[in-house]
Chain A
Amino acid sequence: MLDIKKIRGDFPILNKKILNNKDLIYLDTAASAQKPKVVIDEINSFYSNNYANVSRGVHTLSVESTFKYEDARKKVQKFINADSEREIIFTKSATESINLIANSFASKYINEGDEIILTVMEHHSNIIPWFLIRDKYKCKILFANIDSTGNIDQKHFESLISEKTKLVSITHLSNVFGTIVNQEIINMCNNAGIPILLDGCQSASHIPIDVKTLGCDYFVFSGHKLYAPTGVGVFYGKENLIEELPPYQGGGGMIADVSIDGATFTDLPAKFEAGTPPLVEAYGLGVAIDYVNELGMSEISEHEFRLTNYALDKMQDLDFVDIHGANENKHSIISFNIKNVHSHEVSSFLDVEGIAIRAGHHCCQPLMKHLSLNSTARLSFGMYNTEDEVDIFINALKKCRDFFTK
């Protein structure tokens, strides 16, 4: 069992008072996680004691910085159980990670008439990069439906797979429903020999990740949802696959040799890391991973799963609340609406009670259109949340309903 009281003491922001001197109840970790003091302090220490550019100079600070940066890469490799640190590319965000693979993969493998499969519940960051590829290469983007439980409609997904399918790119854990992709979907792709990218933005902070057991070819996630600083994302690709891919961006650090006639490119992972990388942020991600590992990813996952079910139990007793998607297979994320009250009103009302939740379309407009919803409210859990906070949240929902519907 996690010592939540001790964990809460590690997060300075949880001492903050909101608006009416209310204790902060942070239920928006799916948008971004709060940072433990050790991450904040280590970033400060890096800049104060070790900072210089990486992989360039030969002086002491450059060596120290490079060591810290590459050490973070090893931590990420172990965290997702990748085979080699050559498979771990640091980017500025998960969004950039998807743009990287979209551009690099398409320039080598996508031709007119080819097909890429997504689902209607993807985040815009796993839709728009593919739309841009479609416009450039005249390929087709197919969207698998979801069923009423908030899971992929497997029959429909299977029906979309054909010899034209070049890539499948889907969310691992839905940022709206909190549902985790069925392993059978991944197996289907593996059996058909179609490369599959999992968007792990939500999953990486809520469930243990093992890219080999999952059987995905590519995996992306962002640091800031995993208690690390903003400005760093991860792109993972199987070594034999990404070795064949051309660079995504050109710049310093990714070349073997340059002359006025052209250039040759360096080896993995630097081939995909043009320019000065987010080195301090990557180091911060390594520190966050250490922090998470010390507590245990499985323990964190169990705690959040328990909280999710505790909240679901209480919410389904409220007849004025609609929960989106089935209660089963939900992890850490619950989207809902109060009947006849816009999610903005819910969020502003709860804000004044000290409670931070997300309201809006969650960067999932195709899904909102599919559900015929304008927007939803969403609560999401992090390692620091408690059952007491859920109780206060439930009570605030009742007050909110009373205020707006009287």
Chain B
Amino acid sequence: MNDLIKELYQEIILDHGQSPRNFGECDPHNKSADGHNPLCGDNLKLTFYINNEDVIEDIKFTGEGCAISLASASLMTEKLKGKKIDIAEEIFSDFTNLVSGSSEDLKVLNEEDSLYALKGVGGFPMRVKCATMAWHAFKSALKS
């Protein structure tokens, strides 16, 4: 097996792709957004609840997609749960940098983070949209 594929499909990606965490809908929720990849038809619905201290108390998603998009959504919900919004937004920009191949100037993410497993996506430019779909849904929900 060659290294590029192993780099892309690390154990944790395959695991989260096959059994995504936080799969479902938050009840109650006060933020939601749909993510959609028009290139392939993958889609998801993201819901979360922000409490009066600006903390993401709960966050879940449903949808269908490839291992990369499901794993990314799953790892995102794990990472963002319990975070304050301003930190979450920093994680968002770190993550989009990471998967676009610019991992030098990360502010809050480091190599210990499970999200680092998605770094290999940078070697497959056409798959970056798969990895960022859930994250863009998160960003647009924040704005809504």
Q: Mark B13-26, 1 if CB is under 8 A from A, else 0.
A: 01000000000000
Q: Which residue of A lies closest to B67 (CB)?
A: A345
Cβ contact within 8 Å between B66 and A365: no
Q: Mark A338-373, 1 if CB is under 8 A from B, else 0.
A: 000011110011011000000111000100100000
A19-B4, A20-B4 given as contacts; is B41 within 8 A of A374 (CB)?
yes
Cβ contact within 8 Å between B41 and A375: yes
Q: How large is the interface on B (under 10, 10 to 19, 20 to 34, 35 or more residues)?
A: 10 to 19
A365 to B42, CA, bound (A): 11
What residues on B are CB-neighbors of A374 within 8 Å?
40-42, 64-65
What residues on B are CB-neighbors of A349 within 8 Å?
5
Shortest CB-to-CB span from A232 to chain B, Å, is 24
Please tell me if A47 contacts chain B, counting CB pairs below 8 Å: no
A40 to B66, CA, bound (A): 37
Shortest CB-to-CB span from B67 to chain A, Å, is 6
What residues on A are CB-neighbors of B8 within 8 Å?
348
Query: Which of B14, B41, B127 touches A348 (beta carbons < 8 Å)?
Result: B127
Please tell me if A67 contacts chain B, counting CB pairs below 8 Å: no
Please tell me if A403 contacts chain B, counting CB pairs below 8 Å: yes
What residues on A are CB-neighbors of B4 within 8 Å?
19-20, 352
Cβ contact within 8 Å between A361 and B2: no
Cβ contact within 8 Å between A345 and B41: no
Please tell me if A310 contacts chain B, counting CB pairs below 8 Å: no
A404 to B68, CA, bound (A): 12
What residues on B are CB-neighbors of A361 within 8 Å?
40-41
What residues on B are CB-neighbors of A19 within 8 Å?
4
Shortest CB-to-CB span from A373 to chain B, Å, is 9
Q: Which residue of A lies closest to B1 (CB)?
A: A403
Q: Mark A14-39, 1 if CB is under 8 A from B, else 0.
A: 00000110000000000000000000
Query: Which of B2, B5, B40, B67 touches A360 (beta carbons < 8 Å)?
Result: B40
A348 to B5, CA, bound (A): 8
Cβ contact within 8 Å between B41 and A365: yes
What residues on A are CB-neighbors of B40 within 8 Å?
343-344, 359-361, 374-375
Shortest CB-to-CB span from A123 to chain B, Å, is 14
Query: Which of B2, B39, B65 touches A342 (beta carbons < 8 Å)?
Result: B65
What residues on B are CB-neighbors of A403 within 8 Å?
1, 5, 9
Shortest CB-to-CB span from A34 to chain B, Å, is 19
Cβ contact within 8 Å between B65 and A345: no
A374 to B66, CA, bound (A): 9
Q: Which residue of B lies closest to A346 (CB)?
A: B66
Q: Which residue of A lies closest to B6 (CB)?
A: A403
Shortest CB-to-CB span from A124 to chain B, Å, is 10
Shortest CB-to-CB span from B66 to chain A, Å, is 4
Cβ contact within 8 Å between A352 and B2: yes
What residues on B are CB-neighbors of A360 within 8 Å?
39-41
Please tell me if B76 contacts chain A, counting CB pairs below 8 Å: no
Cβ contact within 8 Å between A345 and B66: yes
A368 to B130, CA, bound (A): 19
Shortest CB-to-CB span from B52 to chain A, Å, is 38
What residues on A are CB-neighbors of B9 within 8 Å?
345, 403-404
Please tell me if B116 contacts chain A, counting CB pairs below 8 Å: no
A360 to B127, CA, bound (A): 12
A269 to B65, CA, bound (A): 46
Shortest CB-to-CB span from B117 to chain A, Å, is 15
A19-B4, A360-B40, A361-B41 given as contacts; is B65 within 8 A of A348 (CB)?
no
Shortest CB-to-CB span from A143 to chain B, Å, is 18
Apart from A344-B127, A359-B40, A403-B5, list 17 A-B contacts with CB within 8 A.
A343-B40, A344-B42, A344-B68, A348-B8, A348-B124, A348-B127, A349-B5, A352-B5, A360-B39, A360-B40, A361-B40, A361-B41, A375-B42, A403-B1, A404-B9, A404-B14, A404-B67
Cβ contacts A to B, 30 pairs, < 8 Å: A342-B65, A342-B66, A343-B40, A343-B66, A344-B40, A344-B67, A344-B130, A345-B9, A345-B66, A348-B5, A348-B8, A348-B124, A349-B5, A351-B124, A352-B2, A352-B4, A352-B5, A359-B40, A360-B39, A360-B41, A361-B40, A368-B41, A374-B40, A374-B42, A375-B42, A399-B1, A403-B5, A403-B9, A404-B14, A404-B67
